[in-house]
Structure 1
Amino acid sequence: MKRALAQAVDWYVRLNESTVSPATHSQWQAWLAADPQHAQAWARLEHLQQRLAQAPAAVGAATLEQARQQRRAAVKMLALLLGVGVVGWQGYQLSPWQADYATRVGQRRHLTLADGSRLVLDTDTQVNLHFDGQQRLIVLKQGEILVETAKDARPLSVQSAEGRILALGTRFAVRQGHGSTRVTVEAHAVEVRPRLAQAQVMRAEAGQTLTFTADRIGPLHPAAAQSSAWARGMLVVVDWRLDDVLAELSRYRPGYLGCAPEVAGLRLSGTFLLNDSEAVLANLQDSLPVHIRRLTRYWVRIEAGAA
């Protein structure tokens, strides 16, 4: 178990670095699924994170700064805490974040900005704000946001890793992916400019969505119905594959959530409450020929069941 705990700590630090590739996420999930001890070790680490929500602010801040500056030191620190425990600490929330506003996994946050614009942060999201006399800039570091702009002479833009989205008096959502950004417009319009291809500009109107990379803008598509239902705590799916539903649901709960290949293509439609993923899983088990295999609350796999 000590070896599994050390590996869990190493994965935790790697997953919370500033840039995480899709390959790293896939490797972590493969590690998590490879051995029940891995899932148990990850569960202990998640429990430690929750307990450190009670730690002193000064201690926590120093620890996080150390984690940001020296990965090896962070690994040693977390491993030590896993060995000695954190009983009795009060008042600090462990987080790798250094952003103006952020949410944890499973959390959403509604904000009214200084200019009157409204901003909703989805699960595991980080943003920085840069408002001055010339501009209103929202920097999306990770996750997804829903923006409803207020009238103001200054332009409002969202900057992702791949480029900028200029609001044209609008309500729109932006999701930071791995190497791409997705924009969905609910009202009015936006203009998209890739970071490495500034001459490319595409306008997206209400009811349209697109994905762009740092050097290319993809085609416009009709936006999915209720695509921003997450802002109201709901996931609305229409004829989705089961593995796609689980991939989306897994964004709102810690640990591993996946399915066996033989059930990945099962299709379903419905409206699910994101605040109660356990109820969603129970609903899937009741409505599909599947059963749920659990090693811990942090390792859940849906497998083929009785027809």
Structure 2
Amino acid sequence: MDNAARSGPDPQVVKQAIAWALRLRNNRANVRLHAQCVRWREAHDDHELAWQRVQALQQELSSQMAAIPGARVALENVSQGVGRRQALKMLSGVILVGSAAWLSRDLTGWQRWTSDLATATGERRSVQLPDGARLQLNTDSAVDLDFNAQQRLITLVRGEILVTCGAPSSAPLLVQTRHGLFEGIDGRFAVRQDSDCTRLSVVSGNVAIHSPHSADGLSTQVHAGESYLVHHTHATLAPPLDMDMGAWVDGLIVTRNMRLAAFLSEVGRYRPGYLGCSAEASDLRLSGVFRLEDTDKLLAIVAQTLPVEVRYRTRWWVSLERSA
């Protein structure tokens, strides 16, 4: 199975499919628009795959619409003829968020089935590898393993891992991501794969970045306490972080004067749906140690620490807004 089949359609293609679904929902009689959507679907296999998944998941979501407060409000406003355009916009937003949540669950579930090791949203997992090394997976992560006499390869399909090197071996311990290839020489290191780059953080020991190479064509040596941002073509020393990159192993998020918007982006990785804050609250700063096993309780503690209120529009849509 190739990588494309393994990981499903690209997230950007998924967003395009959702956008097409919303446009057609709001313009059912537009024959020209329907024809344009058909051409988009036929342009690539991933387009059709994303489209079919969106359609299937929206059908499932439709059966749940009565349970979504935002959808009820929108439908009531439309039926009363009050603010039809605004109500339709709200309804489309609910459908978009709901579809994205269901679709994300579906794609992640597919990767959990096809990857050697994986975790669900909010789950963490620790595994001892055949060579004695310890592999820990953070929330919503997946890896493939290829261990043989020549190499010990961990391919990070998605998410974040922490590797503790085992006993020395003649076969190198390698971690592969979309952006680079890393060799754990000794000690402990974390690898987090985001959409635009991979972050390598060395807790102890040393790690070599083999790909991409440095400007002189040699591997980059990363030492304890250092972090690098690795792109397809280059690797750069990362600025100091406002959070402890390895605290998730203990079920914690540890912050140091962190922006609330950035903090919620991190916490959002451990719960389904949308978690964010208003523009007025985004620059508030937060320091402390927070437990991740119950993110609703965590948010309540944040509201006691900062001048914000937690607003639940639905169980999948939570926003923190600055107190009046």
Percent identity (aligned) = 36
2:42 counterpart residue number: none
Q: Secondary structure at the match of 1:230?
A: helix
1:78 maps onto 2:57 in alignment: yes
Aligned-residue offset at 1:194: 3.0
Q: Secondary structure at the match of 2:195?
A: coil
1:192 counterpart residue number: 209
Write the letter of the residue equivalent to 1:160: T
2:197 counterpart residue number: 180
The CA distance in 2 between the partners of 1:261 and 1:83, in whole Å, is 31
Q: Which runs of 5+ in 2 are unaligned?
A: 1-6, 20-45, 65-104
Match of 1:96 among 96, 110, 123: 110
Aligned-residue offset at 1:80: 4.5
Q: Which runs of 5+ in 1 are unaligned?
A: 1-15, 31-66, 86-92
1:108 counterpart residue number: 124
2:186 counterpart residue number: 169
Write the letter of the residue equivalent to 2:151: Q
1:143-191 Cα offsets, whole Å, 9 max, x none, are 0000001112210010010110111112100000112000000111001
Contact persistence 2:14–2:50 (CA under 8 A): no
Write the letter of the residue equivalent to 2:192: R
Q: 1:262 to 1:200 in 2, by over 3 A?
A: farther
Write the letter of the residue equivalent to 1:20: P
1:19 counterpart residue number: 10
Aligned-residue offset at 1:304: 1.1
1:126 maps onto 2:142 in alignment: yes
Aligned-residue offset at 1:279: 1.1
Aligned-residue offset at 1:81: 4.3
The CA distance in 1 between the partners of 2:148 and 2:8, in whole Å, is 29
The CA distance in 1 between the partners of 2:197 and 2:281, in whole Å, is 28
2:175 counterpart residue number: 158
The CA distance in 1 between the partners of 2:47 and 2:249, in whole Å, is 30
1:105-161 Cα offsets, whole Å, 9 max, x none, are 111111011111100000110100011110000000110000001112210010010
Q: Secondary structure at the match of 1:173?
A: strand
Contact persistence 2:243–2:258 (CA under 8 A): no
The CA distance in 1 between the partners of 2:183 and 2:236, in whole Å, is 17
Q: Secondary structure at the match of 1:189?
A: strand
Write the letter of the residue equivalent to 2:110: P
Q: Which has the higher contact order (CA 8 A, sep 6+)?
A: 1
The CA distance in 1 between the partners of 2:241 and 2:260, in whole Å, is 20
Q: How does 1:224-263 map to 2 (within 5 A)?
A: 226-263=244-281
Q: 1:150 to 1:161 in 2, by over 3 A?
A: same
Contact persistence 1:197–1:215 (CA under 8 A): no
Contact persistence 2:125–2:136 (CA under 8 A): yes
1:37 counterpart residue number: none
Aligned-residue offset at 1:225: 6.6
Contact persistence 2:226–2:237 (CA under 8 A): no
Contact persistence 1:207–1:222 (CA under 8 A): no
The CA distance in 2 between the partners of 1:18 and 1:196, in whole Å, is 29
Write the letter of the residue equivalent to 2:128: T
Q: Secondary structure at the match of 2:153?
A: strand
More helix by share: 2
Count of aligned positions: 247
The CA distance in 1 between the partners of 2:214 and 2:323, in whole Å, is 50
**Normalised TM-score (structure 1):** 0.72
Q: Rg larger in 1 or in 2?
A: 2
1:264 counterpart residue number: 282
Q: Secondary structure at the match of 1:75?
A: helix
The CA distance in 2 between the partners of 1:24 and 1:288, in whole Å, is 36
1:136 counterpart residue number: 152
Q: 1:179 to 1:285 in 2, by over 3 A?
A: same
Write the letter of the residue equivalent to 1:114: P
1:277-303 Cα offsets, whole Å, 9 max, x none, are 111110111111111111111101111
The CA distance in 1 between the partners of 2:47 and 2:144, in whole Å, is 18
Q: 1:225 to 1:258 in 2, by over 3 A?
A: closer
2:224 counterpart residue number: 206
